[in-house]
Amino acid sequence: MTDRVLYDLLADRRVAVFGGGAPVLPELGRLLAAGALITAVAPEVCPAVEALAAAGRLDLRSGRWREDDLDGVWYAFAGTADPVDDAAIAEAAERRRVFCRVLRGAPAPAAERSTSDGGVALVGAGPGDPDLITVRGRALLAAADVVVVDRLAPLELLADLRPGVEVVDAAKIPHGRAAAQGELNRLLVEHARAGRSVVRLKGGDPYVFGRGFEEVLACAEAGVPVTVVPGVSSALAVPALAGVPVTHRGMTHELTVVSGHLPPTHPDSLVDWAALARLRGTVVVLMGVTHLAGIAEALVGGGRDPSTPALAVQDGGTPAQRVLRSTLAALAGDCSAHGIRPPAVFVVGEVAGLARTAGAGGG
């Protein structure tokens, strides 16, 4: 049975993945792409797996594996990083006539993988749909020795990595566990200097609130060559996928994309919210879930009409996408009532009140 046939058979079937570290991420990518119903079982999981569970894209059972985890399962993957446990899982699966694969060994040494001098490609993966990565980005992934991936990058893109590729989880969960930027920079440089072809896979576009240029500077200072591949920014794509244009002829001739990761009153905030409030065009807010009430208050306090149409899109470009229409004054309360959580994109402006015609594209 070929891999393609196997994964095609797993659509809407229950599968179990044992292990929650970065090495299981490519397998999770294959299973997500197949549309399988995934349960991950592990005492601890990396942030990317935690984020998938929070988004409802897989079920998570914390703890050591048990044989009854295989009940009703069509396929199992043993990737606990403990050879004894993995062998026991495979034996238990065989007893139950469940097809099981075992994660095999560590990534191959650099000399056996890359024929290049080593370097880093900073690749924007787009807003969530794996099909929205650029052709150039997909080609670099296909040739990678090491992939350092963020939680907002679609894990389905890891499904076609070459055997032996090392995957590093660089997930940053808002107000949760996060990989320190300095450590990520060090890893990029270390792998590239070892002669490996490294892809730094980031959600959206690396240069739109993605800290991409910090990583470019770190590599440049270390003498490591860097290729930058722009991605489709969530600031533009997510509203479009929700059926809303960020500009529209005769309605708005300006667009402002702003970070909401700090409250408007924070002394380190570089955003002039009063000036934004005086503009008449569209405001797109990224990373603003936590401080949404303060952002709305600042815009209304600065003169923006409280009845201005507003839109929230959670998990844009993924099967879990949710769209909430509101007004500027009511947006924070409505998002709280409906449980809107990161990642979410907010659109404020007359375009947020536009409705798609029947048959138009979008989510």
CB atoms under 10 Å from CB of 170, counted, come to: 26
| Measured CA distances, 39 to 126, 189, 197, 304 (Å) | 26, 35, 32, 46
Angle (CA) 79 138 220, round 5°: 95
Q: Would you call 359 exposed, middle or buried from its count of C-beta atoms within 10 A (0-12, 13-18, 19+)? A: exposed
- Rounded Cα–Cα distance for residues 45 and 327 (Å): 38
Residues marked active site are found at 150, 172, 287
Length in residues, the chain: 363
| Measured CA distances, 82 to 44, 59, 64, 267, 335 (Å) | 13, 22, 11, 48, 43
- Rounded Cα–Cα distance for residues 183 and 232 (Å): 26
CB 231 within 8 A of CB 153: no
Give, as one character, the DSSP assignment of residue 262: S
Looking at the chain, list the stretches that DSSP marks H as alpha helix, in order from N- to C-terminal side: 3-8, 25-34, 47-54, 83-95, 135-142, 181-193, 212-221, 234-241, 273-278, 292-301, 331-337
Amino acid at 130: P
- Rounded Cα–Cα distance for residues 272 and 264 (Å): 8
Task: Take residue 43 and report the two structure tokens written for it.
Answer: 């005492």
| Spatial CA neighbour of 350 closest among 248, 266, 263, 277 | 248
